[in-house]
Structure 1
Amino acid sequence: MTSTDDAAITVTDNPEQHRFEIHAGGVLAGFTEYRVREDRYSFVHTEIGDEFGGRGLASWLIKDALDEMRTRGAAVLPYCPFVKRFIQRHAEYQDLVPAAERAAFDIPQG
């Protein structure tokens, strides 16, 4: 990450609003929304504020959210195009998408 103080970046789950949020310097910089059904999280939308663009915050947000999904033992359905591309490009997260669902999201079977 460039031009942003890593210590000032935090990612937290906000279950009341069904989203993970990323804050930069205490200010909400963006979020990724999800829907939960049992142990499956469907990521449906990711948004970063215009004033925070170009800093890699969306990737940081998705990485932390997916790391949390792994910790929870949850499956991920990447309906959000950004989350889908992130998983396609980072093989270490592809196993979070259930094998039977990978073809629907163009995720390699690994």
Structure 2
Amino acid sequence: MTQHPDVHNDSAQSRYELKTADGMAIAEYRSVGTHAVMFTHTEVPESMEGQGVGSRLVRAALDDVKAQGKRVIPMCPFVASYISEHHEYLDLVDPVQRGALNIT
């Protein structure tokens, strides 16, 4: 993850982490076989909400998954919304899942 040195993949806890002045922002995930990563929950310290912390975290996580050649299953509403707003990540989500999750 050299593109985003401030975001760390803690694979032991199955989450990406971004340390902020007010605590840890996290994007939890589960591996789905060897081909996909399911994002289940994203959390940002309340005092940091609306400041781009979640977006920075998710962008780094998606870039890492993409670099691994894996797909994304965005069960977390924040991750799904981020992908909907940033079409450069649409190819990470299976087209059938895009429709089911209303990602356009």
Match of 1:29 among 16, 24, 27: 24
Distance change in 2, residues 1:28/1:74 (3 Å): farther
- Residues 15-41 of structure 1, C-alpha deviation per residue, up to 9 Å, x if partnerless? 11110001135x743101001112111
**Normalised by the size of structure 2, how large is the TM-score?**
0.87
The answer to whether 1:96 aligns with 2:92 is yes
SS in 1 for 2:50: coil
Check whether the contact 2:81–2:103 (CA below 8 A) recurs between aligned residues: no
1:33 alignment partner AA: E
| Structure richer in helix, relative to its length | 1
Check whether the contact 1:69–1:75 (CA below 8 A) recurs between aligned residues: yes
RMSD: 1.6
1:59 aligned residue: 55
2:81 aligned residue: 85
Check whether the contact 1:76–1:96 (CA below 8 A) recurs between aligned residues: yes
Runs of 5+ consecutive residues of structure 2 not aligned to the other structure: none
2:26 alignment partner AA: F
**Normalised by the size of structure 1, how large is the TM-score?**
0.83
Task: Calculate percent identity across the aligned residue pairs.
Answer: 35
**In 2: Cα distance, 1:103 partner to 1:88 partner:** 11
**In 1: Cα distance, 2:81 partner to 2:50 partner:** 17
Count of residues in Structure 1 that have an aligned counterpart in Structure 2: 99
2:51 alignment partner AA: R
